[in-house]
Structure 1
Amino acid sequence: MLAWRKSSYSGDDGGDCIEVAPGFPGLVPVRDSKDPHGPVLLFPASAWDSFLHAVRAGELPSDD
């Protein structure tokens, strides 16, 4: 069984959240927290790290 973890930035209001499951060398499993039995996307760890860096740096467009 996977140990899914939601972002610490996610609230408890059931909003748009993703969860990741650690423990897969070289891969990051990602799923929609609102659909825990739905599909899982697998990203190369290097791509996931690049994504997180872009989010933290504010480099991605926002809906705001």
Structure 2
Amino acid sequence: MTPTHTGILIGAVLAISWVAFGFWAFVFVALAMGVGAIVGRIVSGQTDFSAIVDAVRGKRVSS
């Protein structure tokens, strides 16, 4: 699946949730998708969890 197809699918899911259930359900679905994306990246090893925790705590990271 290409990134374009993925984006279309995500947009369709969000649009359907807004139309069918209202604005707050749309917000909840969008947040749940975001959390799922972050968890998926951590599990696959593409994102370092400690870097996320440091960013939330306000620690600066220099590369």
What is the TM-score with the length of structure 2 in the denominator?
A: 0.26
Q: Per residue, is there more strand in 1 or in 2?
A: 1
Higher RCO, Cα 8 Å, sep 6+: 1
**TM norm structure 1:** 0.26
Of structures 1 and 2, the larger Rg is shown by 2
Q: Identify the structure with the greater helix proportion.
A: 2
